[in-house]
């Protein structure tokens, strides 16, 4: 829904997964063969991918200071990621990285992306739009990291107009 560029590094995978569901229309790209193929999923993988997606959305909402109504808590993500084995690799120059033990699984790829983003301080900048009809994931590039909407020209403008009209009505 927004006019922004994708999240950096592995967070682009997380952002893309969260954004497979259009909350306004209800369209779910995981229902399509192309949508599943983009994440290396089969039809059998979709229920687990949806559970992961909604736990990621809850964490992204929490990063923006919001809670998901009727959905999982951000802690649900921790329970899911506990099943994703990661390995520490050491390069010839001594640098280390966490990599998926099973690189083909979506859960392991997401776990590695989150671990890397947590280490470099970018994980908390992946947020979800506070508009309940949107909740689109976006990467907050604002200097103070206080962005609230995926798009100021759409969701932000709608929220500000609602606030303005409510003030005018009283």
Domain ranges of the chain: 11-169
Residue 38 DSSP code:
T
Average pLDDT, the chain: 87
Residue entry with tokens 């103070």: 144
Q: What is the CA radius of gyration of the chain?
A: 17
Is residue 127 packed enough to be buried (19+ CB in 10 Å), middle (13-18) or exposed (0-12)?
buried
Taking only the tens place, the pLDDT of each residue in 16-50 is 999 999 998 999 999 999 999 999 999 999 999 99
Burial class of residue 167, CB neighbours in 10 A (0-12, 13-18, 19+): exposed
Question: What pairing do the DSSP bridges indicate for beta strands 96-100 and 126-128?
Answer: unpaired
At 56-103, the pLDDT tens digits run 999 999 999 888 777 888 999 999 999 898 999 999 999 998 888 877
pLDDT in tens, 123-168: 999 999 988 888 899 999 888 777 665 755 566 556 566 665 667 7
Written out in words, the top-level CATH class of the domain with range 11-169 is: mainly alpha
Tell me the pLDDT band of 2, cut-offs 50, 70 and 90.
Answer: very low
Position 124 scores a pLDDT of 94
Alpha-carbon torsion angle 6, 7, 9, 15, nearest 10: -90
> Helix (H, G, I), strand (E, B), or coil: what is residue 33?
helix
């Amino acid at each position: 829904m927004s006019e922004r560029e994708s999240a950096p590094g592995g967070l682009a995978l997380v952002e893309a997964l969260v954004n497979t569901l259009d909350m306004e229309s209800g369209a779910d790209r995981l229902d399509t063969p192309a949508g599943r193929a983009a994440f290396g999923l089969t039809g059998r993988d979709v229920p687990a991918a949806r559970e992961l997606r909604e736990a990621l959305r809850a964490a992204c909402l929490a990063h923006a200071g919001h809670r998901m109504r009727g959905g999982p808590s951000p802690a649900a993500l921790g329970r899911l990621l506990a099943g994703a084995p990661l390995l520490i690799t050491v390069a010839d120059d001594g640098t280390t990285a966490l990599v998926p033990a099973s690189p083909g699984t979506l859960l392991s790829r997401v776990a590695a992306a989150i671990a890397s983003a947590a280490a470099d301080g970018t994980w908390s900048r992946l947020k979800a739009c506070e508009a309940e009809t949107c909740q689109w994931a976006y990467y907050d590039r604002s200097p103070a990291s206080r962005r609230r909407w995926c798009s100021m020209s759409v969701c932000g403008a709608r929220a500000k107009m609602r606030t303005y009209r409510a003030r005018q009505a009283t």
